[in-house]
Structure formats: structure tokens, C-alpha cells
């Protein structure tokens, strides 16, 4: 199968089904797409008074995913990690481009890959606009576009002293899943094992929460490299410090009630939530006066959020136990070139 055939078969035709320009009644479905896949550029008509949010992420085989990774799940995850950046900005998806290097034009791999990718795209009304296909070591590079009412983007730089610090969902589970996948941690309970594998392979971008937090959150980031490191980006961009309660982070996840894991030391359990990456949850800050509104945004977006600490003057993160005692920590963010 040639390059143009495979684009046509697995991406262009299916995208046209999923993302028609017009509904059956003739009303505009995705009126912003003037020209989609199949020209030198995609042409998009932006809605008035909206700003654009743009983000790019690249996934490399052997680095971001294992060679035997299920292609449907890989398609899902490749887009999910990009949508997560839109979520962290409070943006609503508009579309994405996909550039990929493939070792071969393998229909048995491309069919489920494109299915997983486009299923998530359809769920979030985020049409595939175009891209590039070439031969090479399996590499997926996605750029996503979203829209935000002018001035309402959630940035990393707005956290203020006294703000609460929150995370969505459960942090640390994806990192434990990696240890399970690599065979470092055997898990006896098959339900727990599958839950963990789902958490690393099928992350759910928190788009509804991100949009619900516009006007409430003072700063936000998505958790890709680990809480301590990613929260550190908010702190340095905002010129503030943080106190984080380790127990509150651990308690975002119920997996520690499993008898096998409950037998671990607290320090070992805490490690996952504090420094584990790949969660694609949101960490954000909001004034303590807005706790009720934040809880409402969480309910409205069907997304659990947990308060894990607060912003203080100074810099860096002070880690505390449940009794307010300082805990030592030497946790840094994941860095592809310093491991």
C-alpha cells in the first residue's frame, strides 16, 4: 500500500464520515474547516473573538510506548496527551494535525491505530485536519488547536500566595502501571492490574474540567512529567512556593487500599503520586475563597478534584505529612536528557 492510499483509506475517508462539514439538515457541523485533509494546508475559519491555543507533542517508540503497544490504544494516547495540553489551557478543541514516521505501510497496524485515534477525536469533536506520512522509526507527532474566549486562557503564571492547590483524578497510577508493564512490580489482583494498564494506556484528557475552570483557576498545568516537577513549573512561572501534603496526594488514588500495595511503606506509596509521570491529570491553583465554585466545576465536568496543598511565598515545594511535619524529598521532574 502506498503513502497516498493509506492516508486515503485510514484517515481521510473515515475523517469525512466522522467530521462532516454539514449535518444532514444542512446546518454547519464544523463550519470552521474550509479545507481539510488533502491540500497543501488545511484552511480553517476561526470564530470571532476567540483566541487559539496550540500545542505539539511527539511520541517515540521505545521511549513513550513499548514496541508491543496495542495500536488502538496508542492512537488514543497519542491524541490524548495533546488534548491534555488544551485542557490545561482551558481550551475547547478545534482540530489537529498528525505527522508520523512508520517503518512500513502495515494495514493491520494502521486500521486499529487510526480507529483509536479518531474515536477520541470524535468524542471531543476534534477533527483531523491534515498531516504528513513518511518512512522511519515509529514516531508520532501531533499538533492540536483549540479555542478560548480572549483573555481566559489558563496559564502557568497566575498562582498567588494563599491559593489552594488541586489535582484532578488519581495521580501516581500511571507510573505504577509502567513498573507493572516493565515487570518490576508483579500485581496479584487481575482487576487492579487491568485498572493500572488502562490508566497508562488510555489517559482521559480533562477537557471539560479545564473549560469549567476558566475564571476560577489562577494557574494550571497538565501532569505529564510528575507532580513535583510539573507543579514546579507553575511555581517558577508564578514566582511563588508551595506546601504540599504527601498524604493528600496519595489519597487521590484508592489503589493503596489493595492488600498487596497497602503493605508497602508510606514512602514507597508516596513516591508514585509525587514523582510519577504520564497521569495527564490537571494540577491547578485557585483562591481559597472559590472552593465552592471549584467543587461545582468538578461536579459539572464529572471530574473528581482533590485539594493537596497551598501556595506560599518563596520558591520550591515544602512537602508535609498529615500532621504538618516536613518530609524530606529530592524529587525532580522527568527529563529526557537527564535520567
CA-to-CA dists, residue 34 to 17, 38, 106, 131, 223, angstroms: 16, 12, 31, 16, 34
Q: Are strands 92-102 and 128-135 parallel, antiparallel or unpaired?
A: parallel
Query: Of the two residues 157 and 260, which places its CB atom closer to a copy of itself in the complex?
Result: 157
Q: Given the complex with a copy of itself, which of 22 and 52 has the nearer CB atom? A: 52
Contact 50, 183 (CB under 8 A): no
Q: Is residue 85 marked as binding?
A: yes
| Minimum separation from the CB atom of position 326 to a copy of itself (A) | 26
Nearest CA to 310 among 218, 223, 205? 218
Nearer to a copy of itself, 7 or 255 (CB): 7
Q: Minimal distance in Å, beta carbon 111 to a copy of itself?
A: 15
Residue 41: strand, helix, or coil: coil
* CB nearer to a copy of itself: pick between 56 and 254: 56
Reference 333, options 232, 220, 237, 250; nearest CA is 232
Measured in whole angstroms, the distance separating CA 226 from the mean position of its chain's CA atoms is 12
Q: What angle do CA 43, 122, 138 make, to 5 degrees?
A: 80
Class of residue 194 by CB neighbours under 10 A (exposed 0-12, middle 13-18, buried 19+): exposed
- In terms of CB distance, is 196 or 283 closer to a copy of itself? 283
> Per the annotation, does 334 bind a ligand?
yes
The x, y and z cell numbers of residue 166, run together, are 488541586
Task: Establish whether 56 is an annotated binding residue.
Answer: yes
Nearest distance in Å: CB 288, a copy of itself: 24
Rounded to whole angstroms, the Cα distance separating 281 from 222 reads 6
Residue 124 marked ligand-binding:
no
Whether residue 164 is annotated as binding a ligand: the answer is: no
Quote the least distance from Cβ 3 to a copy of itself, whole Å.
Answer: 5
Query: Is residue 320 within 8 Å of residue 245, measured between CB atoms?
Result: yes
Q: Has 40 been labeled as part of a binding site?
A: yes
Check the annotation: does 131 bind a ligand. yes
**Could you tell me which residues come within 8 angstroms of residue 221 by beta carbon, excluding any fewer than 6 positions away?**
88, 156, 230, 231, 233, 234, 282, 283, 284
For 196, the grid coordinates are 493500572
Residue 219: CB minimum distance to a copy of itself, A? 10
Please report how close the Cβ of residue 134 comes to a copy of itself at its closest, in angstroms: 5
Of residues 153 and 308, the one with the C-beta less far from a copy of itself? 153
- The answer to whether the annotation marks 57 as part of a ligand binding site is yes
**Is 65 part of any known ligand binding site?**
no
Does 132 carry a binding-site annotation? Answer: yes
Q: How far is the CB of 278 from a copy of itself (least distance, A)?
A: 13
SS3 category, 4:
helix
Indicate the residue among 133 and 310 with the shorter CB distance to a copy of itself: 133
Pick the closer one to a copy of itself by CB: 104 or 262: 104
> CB of 203: closest distance to a copy of itself in angstroms?
15
Phi, psi for 150 (deg, rounded to 5): -50, 130
Read off the C-alpha cell for 248: 493528600
Annotated binding site: 40, 55-57, 64, 85, 131-132, 156, 222, 224-225, 278, 334
Amino acid at each position: 500500500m502506498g503513502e497516498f492510499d493509506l492516508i486515503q483509506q485510514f484517515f481521510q475517508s473515515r475523517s469525512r464520515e466522522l467530521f462532516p462539514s454539514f449535518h444532514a439538515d444542512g446546518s454547519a457541523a464544523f463550519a470552521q474547516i474550509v479545507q481539510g485533509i488533502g491540500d497543501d494546508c488545511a484552511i480553517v475559519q476561526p470564530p470571532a473573538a476567540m483566541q487559539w491555543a496550540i500545542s505539539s507533542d511527539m511520541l517515540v517508540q521505545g521511549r513513550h510506548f513499548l514496541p508491543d503497544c496495542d495500536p488502538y490504544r496508542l492512537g488514543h494516547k497519542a491524541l490524548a496527551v495533546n488534548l491534555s495540553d488544551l485542557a490545561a489551557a482551558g481550551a475547547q478543541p478545534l482540530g489537529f494535525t498528525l505527522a508520523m514516521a512508520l517503518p512500513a505501510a502495515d494495514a493491520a497496524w494502521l486500521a486499529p491505530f487510526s480507529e483509536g485515534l479518531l474515536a477520541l477525536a470524535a468524542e471531543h469533536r476534534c477533527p483531523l485536519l491534515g498531516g504528513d506520512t513518511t518512512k522511519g522509526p515509529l514516531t508520532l507527532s501531533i499538533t492540536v488547536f483549540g479555542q478560548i474566549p480572549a483573555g481566559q486562557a489558563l496559564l502557568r503564571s497566575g498562582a498567588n500566595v494563599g491559593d489552594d492547590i488541586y489535582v484532578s483524578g488519581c495521580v501516581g497510577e500511571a507510573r505504577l502501571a509502567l513498573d507493572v508493564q516493565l515487570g518490576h512490580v508483579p500485581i496479584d489482583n487481575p482487576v487492579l492490574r487491568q485498572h493500572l494498564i488502562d490508566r497508562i494506556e488510555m489517559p482521559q484528557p480533562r477537557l471539560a474540567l479545564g473549560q469549567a475552570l476558566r475564571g476560577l483557576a489562577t494557574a494550571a498545568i497538565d501532569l505529564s512529567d510528575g507532580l513535583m516537577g510539573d507543579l514546579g513549573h507553575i511555581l517558577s512561572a508564578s514566582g511563588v512556593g508551595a506546601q504540599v501534603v504527601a498524604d493528600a496526594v496519595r489519597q487521590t488514588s484508592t489503589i493503596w487500599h489493595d492488600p498487596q500495595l497497602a503493605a508497602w511503606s508510606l514512602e514507597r506509596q508516596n513516591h508514585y503520586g509525587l514523582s510519577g509521570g504520564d497521569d495527564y491529570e490537571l494540577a491547578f491553583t485557585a483562591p481559597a475563597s472559590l472552593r465552592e465554585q471549584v467543587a461545582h466545576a468538578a461536579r459539572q465536568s464529572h471530574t473528581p478534584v482533590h485539594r493537596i496543598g497551598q501556595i506560599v511565598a518563596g520558591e520550591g515545594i515544602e512537602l508535609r505529612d498529615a500532621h504538618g511535619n516536613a518530609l524530606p524529598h529530592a524529587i525532580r521532574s522527568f527529563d529526557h536528557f537527564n535520567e
